[in-house]
Chain A
Amino acid sequence: MQLLFDSVTADYQLGPIRSPRVLRSIDMNLKSGSFTAVIGHTGSGKSSLLKAMNGLLIPTDGQIKIGDTVIKAGKNKRSLKKIRKQVGMVFQFPESQLFAETVEQDICFGPLNFGVPLIKAKKMARDVLIQVGLDPIILTKSPFSLSGGQKRRVAIAGILAMQPEVLVLDEPGAGLDPAGKKEILSLIASWHHEKKLTTVLVTHDMDDVATYADDVIIMNEGQIVMHGDKRSIFSEEKELKKWHVDVPDARRFQLRIEQETGVILPQVCLTVEELAEALIEVNLA
């Protein structure tokens, strides 16, 4: 499903106080089936961008087109419900949204809200729970009795069970140990490929960007300052430095090697494997 932003401007209204614009005339086109990483430092508008994709932040100007549904200023009640069914959103620390008595009920909450029959929702709950790597035994347990990592998986399962066509994630690996984080991200990546989703991932870890994403969006002060294929984005170190964005470890290592040896490697390397191959190719290793 395609996501199209057409000069979208938005702010939060808190009673009498209007926040400065959190999104400023954003134009963006995310192709169906793409995996995009959004980076930028705190307060750059990443989370607001995600919220706009789910109709939680309504543009004051411009319009958002998701599939063939349009959100713009004013009332869009019916389209909002449709969009929220199509766009699954995993918030930061999603485990804080767990509330039901059993894991099964919690996972079924989303599908039931969108009118999926109970039997089908229950079957779905069981399937996604296995998919996220948990034992179906815990379906009858209380979500509050689980460990932190398990809770995170249950919360993500609750979103996947809605069978969204677009998956939007705000730092799904935050606060997990490296192994747990890697598992969750590879789970999302395989789900992305299997279900042919359009995925948007906010992250701070450039190595995650290098490993999982295809495209990169860099945000600064509510605007998209760079948007493109990850390899071309990570080849522009100077531009990246301007926005205080790091490059993946492998790329940094590559730059250092090129600087020390004077040999320019044939391609921009984003992972250790790519770097190793490139080094062998030019006979440096």
Chain B
Amino acid sequence: MNKLILGRYFPGDSWLHRLDPRAKLLAGVYFIFVLFLANNWETYLVLGLFTFAVMRLSDVKFGIYLRGVRPLIWLILFTVFLQILFTAGGEIYLDWGPITISEFGLINGVYIFCRFVMIIFISTVITLTTKPIDLTDAINILLRPLQKLRIPVDELSLMLSISLRFIPNLLDETQKVMDAQRARGTEFGEGSLFRQMKTLVPIFLPLFVSSLNRAEDMANAMEVRGYQSGEKRSIFRQLYWRRRDTLSLFIMILLTTLLIWLRTEGGIGH
């Protein structure tokens, strides 16, 4: 529970920490799209170096990023194996009915692995260097145009920031309830799957009840202080777009040009 690195904030004062959250968010999302331009080892190398440089800029130890990948490693390996087993083409090393291990399969597997790891690294960079509350503000501002389509952007971002705010409380409370039920003789992670699932009820039920109660308290407290949804509201934490923010987006465009130039037409094998 406490091992999750993805979604954590590490206080610091690096260049990346000081970047406007909007710039970081835009660049991060853009990077994920740009990843799909890569189709040979040169392009992957460029992207890898770029990712590495960004990670160095964040002033966070490399080990922490690796820890961020760890919980997802099985999902990644599973996808990689599917790629390796079911992609045909090139030299064939092993043929076993519908399952073949081929040259293209292996290459694709490695590429997919790199792609996954880079996506995780870059998104970890963003969350490690940006306060959650800044991130929700940025999302709010970036989604503003959707208000024209009558999408309640303000409400959505309020919901997002409230849920982010209460994650630590919920973790604390989970620990407390688990301890309390353990003291009453529950053993977690033992017995058959069905029995293990049954031991979750005494944890989740109290958590649901207290979350609902808290939500009601929170709603009352907001209403008492005059909160009204749909009102035009100013922002408490002003975000300032500086030269470095423009620069960061410019770097992304440079990266794209470089990738398009290095890219081979038609993908691998040509």
Binding site for B on A (CB under 8 A): 14-17, 51, 54, 56, 81, 84-85, 87-89, 91, 94, 96-100, 109-110, 113-114, 144, 158-159, 162
* Chain A residues near B181 (CB-CB < 8 A): 97
Bound complex: CA of A103 vs CA of B201, how far in Å? 16
Binds A, one of B121-129, B172-180, B216-224: B172-180
Nearest B residue (CB) for A114: B185
Bound complex: CA of A14 vs CA of B5, how far in Å? 12
Determine whether the beta carbon of A96 is less than 8 Å from that of B210.
yes
Knowing A14-B2, A91-B180, the reply to whether A98 touches B185 (Cβ < 8 A) is no
Determine whether the beta carbon of B185 is less than 8 Å from that of A81.
yes
A14-B2, A97-B206, A158-B184 known; 20 new pairs, CB 8 Å cut-off, are: A17-B2, A81-B187, A85-B185, A87-B183, A89-B180, A91-B176, A91-B179, A91-B183, A94-B180, A96-B177, A96-B206, A98-B206, A99-B201, A100-B202, A109-B184, A109-B202, A110-B184, A113-B186, A159-B183, A162-B184
* Chain A residues near B210 (CB-CB < 8 A): 96
* Chain B residues near A87 (CB-CB < 8 A): 183
Nearest B residue (CB) for A77: B187
Knowing A15-B2, A144-B209, the reply to whether A96 touches B176 (Cβ < 8 A) is yes
Determine whether the beta carbon of B183 is less than 8 Å from that of A15.
no
Quick check: is B225 within 8 A (CB to CB) of the other chain? Answer: no
Chain B residues touching A, majority SS = helix
* Chain B residues near A85 (CB-CB < 8 A): 185
* Chain A residues near B185 (CB-CB < 8 A): 81, 84-85, 109-110, 113-114, 162
Determine whether the beta carbon of A99 is less than 8 Å from that of B184.
no
Determine whether the beta carbon of B206 is less than 8 Å from that of A99.
yes
Which 10 A-B pairs give the minimum distances between C-beta atoms? Answer: A113-B185, A15-B2, A99-B205, A97-B180, A110-B184, A89-B183, A15-B3, A14-B2, A99-B202, A114-B185
Bound complex: CA of A81 vs CA of B182, how far in Å? 9
* Chain B residues near A110 (CB-CB < 8 A): 184-185
Q: How far is the CB of B6 from chain A (nearest CB, A)?
A: 13
Quick check: is B56 within 8 A (CB to CB) of the other chain? Answer: no
Quick check: is B67 within 8 A (CB to CB) of the other chain? Answer: yes
Bound complex: CA of A81 vs CA of B201, how far in Å? 20
* Chain B residues near A81 (CB-CB < 8 A): 185, 187
Q: Interface range on chain B: under 10, 10 to 19, 20 to 34, or 35 or more?
A: 20 to 34
* Chain B residues near A51 (CB-CB < 8 A): 179
27 contacts between A and B (CB under 8 A): A14-B2, A15-B1, A15-B2, A15-B3, A16-B3, A17-B2, A51-B179, A54-B183, A56-B182, A56-B183, A81-B185, A81-B187, A84-B182, A84-B185, A89-B180, A89-B183, A91-B176, A91-B179, A91-B183, A96-B177, A97-B180, A97-B181, A97-B206, A99-B206, A109-B184, A113-B184, A144-B209
Q: How far is the CB of A82 from chain B (nearest CB, A)?
A: 11
* Contacting residues of chain B (14-67) with chain A, CB-CB under 8 angstroms: 67
B194-208 near A? 1/0 per residue, CB < 8 Å: 000000011101100
Nearest A residue (CB) for B171: A14
Bound complex: CA of A94 vs CA of B210, how far in Å? 13
Bound complex: CA of A100 vs CA of B3, how far in Å? 31
Q: How far is the CB of A189 from chain B (nearest CB, A)?
A: 21
Bound complex: CA of A113 vs CA of B184, how far in Å? 7
Q: How far is the CB of B50 from chain A (nearest CB, A)?
A: 27
* Chain B residues near A113 (CB-CB < 8 A): 184-186
Nearest A residue (CB) for B204: A99
Q: Name B177's contact: one of A15, A17, A97, A109 (CB within 8 Å).
A: A97
Q: Give the interface centre of A16, A51, A88 by most chain B CB atoms within 10 Å.
A: A16
* Chain B residues near A159 (CB-CB < 8 A): 183-184
Q: How far is the CB of B176 from chain A (nearest CB, A)?
A: 7
